[in-house]
Amino acid sequence: MRIQKYLIVALLGAMTFAACTKDEGVGIKTREDYQGKVENGIPTYPDYYIDVAGWDYRMSWNLANVHDPSIAYYDGYYYMFGTDASYGNEHDKASIGRHFQGKRSKDLVNWTHIYGPFNEAPTWVKDSLNSIRGRMNLAPIENPNYGYWAPVIRVVDGKLRMYYSIVIDNQIDGKNSWGERAFIGMCETTDPSNWLAWEDHGYVVGSSTDKSPEKFREGTDANGISSYGNAYFYYNAIDPTYIVDQDGKHWLIYGSWHSGFALMEIDPASGKPKAAYDDNGNFVGLGEPWNANPNYGSRIATRHKTYRWQGSEGPEIIYKDGYYYLFMAYDGLDVPYNTRVLRASSVEGPYYDITGNNNTANGGDSYPIVTHPYAFNGSHGWVGISHCAIFQQEGTGDWFYCSQGRLPSGVYENASSNAIMMGHVRRIVWVPSSADDLDDLWPLSLPERYAGLAKTNVKASEIAGTYEHINLKYQASVQQTPTLLTLASDGTMSGALSGVWSFDESKQYLTLAPTSGTKVVVAVFHEADWEASPRKETVVYAGTHKSLNATWWGKKVETTSTE
């Protein structure tokens, strides 16, 4: 279960933190190494941050300790808030603003810690939980075990609004059945840097089921242990995302693992579900969270149409050029986490993937792959790259992707290095679905993180050279690694691909045309080579094809002479 994975990661971090000591061999010196230092215009801070993981170093964490981020631009800053997580559970040492810890930045590169909006779960959570349990003829839970997960932030009517998830992981009947349930609440502020300035507006929606209240133990095995395929909950009330559509309607999308993602319309002023109000505008609530109550939303996307245990979570939604793009996290968060995207012409769907599959109607795995575990040469690489925030850069309108990235286990002989979570901010490029349809654009993340470099076009004279080419195909828990690809100055290519290449400087599109196989158009960009020592600017690319079921990532590592 997702709950179990969070607990495992937290315990590993807690056990390791006390045992780890400074390792001069990996270049970690002082807290100042994590803020503001650059070389060649690129941040120099290391990714292995255990020497500054302690709570007293929080103002120097920068992008360390990021999990399930959401980002919005408000009052001159990019604000980020996320799931409670830090290496060694250091966030638990906070005396104020402990939950949903945040960061803020002016440049998307240097981030400063700020407190979250809560020190403890609001009282409405326990009250709502036990009210539901009472109506199910279950005893109250006096001391619930709370988890604080995956908020989303948006600017609504001049305020920064947060929808947050609070999970109660006690077993629903105290035996072997499902973990209790989750709730989504909402709070707002006009001063997100001050944790006391948040105003909580309480309950929005909770986990719901299509079963009756008596059927929560249905689907157990011979030992009475719950069967994942017949989970009690249909919609799991975590991982909210929020959008205002082109008609001015407000929508909340939520869900994780259980059955798929639910869409519900929101009353803009109150921030509560529109279905909770009668025709006269009186608040009457959503009704009971069982027997397939339609007030809890309609399913718009699913990985497995008839099986509840989805392996998908963390929806994020944006609108661009006539389409609503729905990003989704796939698989377990420790290593295999990867990102996919669907789109629809209406926020209510149906949502299609790049292959033309109607995911809303049919379910199924979806393409393209936006991110996936990978490693360039000479590097430990990254795993667990998903549950993203998608947002625009203020002033440019350029789109960006942000998520956690985890180190693999065993980095620098640290058995718990997979609990190290570094925030990854990456540019999004919009790439054609095929060489024959250059106007049918889909979003992909670049293979290297954003370093704040000036946005400049890649020149035709820069293309020839040797690249580390990664065929980013889906393999659970496998880091995809590169093969060298040489683009010769005469327009031929060899190594990972054999054939010809061409470059359209006006569109910034590089076409890779193998002698046999799929011709793929990739978008090129200047970005930082984070694996180089010292780090330096280079050319990177990302592209896909509607029949490829993979993404091509590349990074230039060597220049070919044209003499």
Please state, in angstroms and rounded to a whole number, the distance separating the CA atoms of residues 387 and 67: 8
How many folded domains does the chain comprise?
Answer: 1
Q: For position 534, which CATH number holds?
A: 2.40.128.10
For the ranges 216-225, 284-293, 461-470, 499-508, the lowest mean pLDDT is seen at: 216-225
Residue 227 falls inside a structural domain: no
CB 176 within 8 A of CB 187: no
Please report, as a single letter, which amino acid is at residue 59: M
Residue 539 falls inside a structural domain: yes
Summarised one tens digit per residue, pLDDT across range 242-274 is: 999 999 999 999 999 999 999 999 999 999 999
Q: Phi and psi for 96 in degrees, rounded to 5? A: -140, 150
Q: Which residues of 344-379 are buried (b: 16+ CB within 10 A; e: fewer)?
A: beebbbebbbbeebebbeebebbbbbbbbbbbbeee
CA angle in degrees (0–180, nearest 5) for 373-229-219: 150
Mean pLDDT of 100-120: 97
- For 130, the 3-state DSSP assignment is helix
Summarised one tens digit per residue, pLDDT across range 43-77 is: 999 999 998 999 999 999 999 999 999 999 999 99
**Please, which pLDDT band fits residue 19 given cuts at 50, 70 and 90?**
very low
* Segments forming the whole domain that contains residue 555: 460-559
Summarised one tens digit per residue, pLDDT across range 153-181 is: 999 999 999 999 999 999 999 888 889 99
Residue 541 falls inside a structural domain: yes
pLDDT at 208: 97
Please state, in angstroms and rounded to a whole number, the distance separating the CA atoms of residues 440 and 446: 18
**Please, which pLDDT band fits residue 223 given cuts at 50, 70 and 90?**
confident
Residue 533 falls inside a structural domain: yes
CB 327 within 8 A of CB 341: yes
Instruction: State the residue for tokens 């370093």.
Output: 451
pLDDT at 561: 58
% of the chain with per-residue pLDDT over 90: 87
Q: Write the CB contacts of 11 (distance below 8 Å, at least 6 apart in sequence).
A: none
Residue 367 falls inside a structural domain: no
pLDDT at 22: 33
Q: Phi and psi for 243 in degrees, rounded to 5? A: -150, 150
Burial of 18 (0-12, 13-18, 19+ CB in 10 A): exposed
Tokens read off for 208? 């719901």
**Please, which pLDDT band fits residue 445 given cuts at 50, 70 and 90?**
very high
Residue 215 scores a pLDDT above 60? yes
Residue 37 falls inside a structural domain: no
Residue 7 scores a pLDDT above 70? no
Summarised one tens digit per residue, pLDDT across range 396-406 is: 999 999 999 99
pLDDT at 35: 80
pLDDT at 221: 77
Residue 474 falls inside a structural domain: yes
Summarised one tens digit per residue, pLDDT across range 197-210 is: 999 999 999 999 99
Residue 364 falls inside a structural domain: no
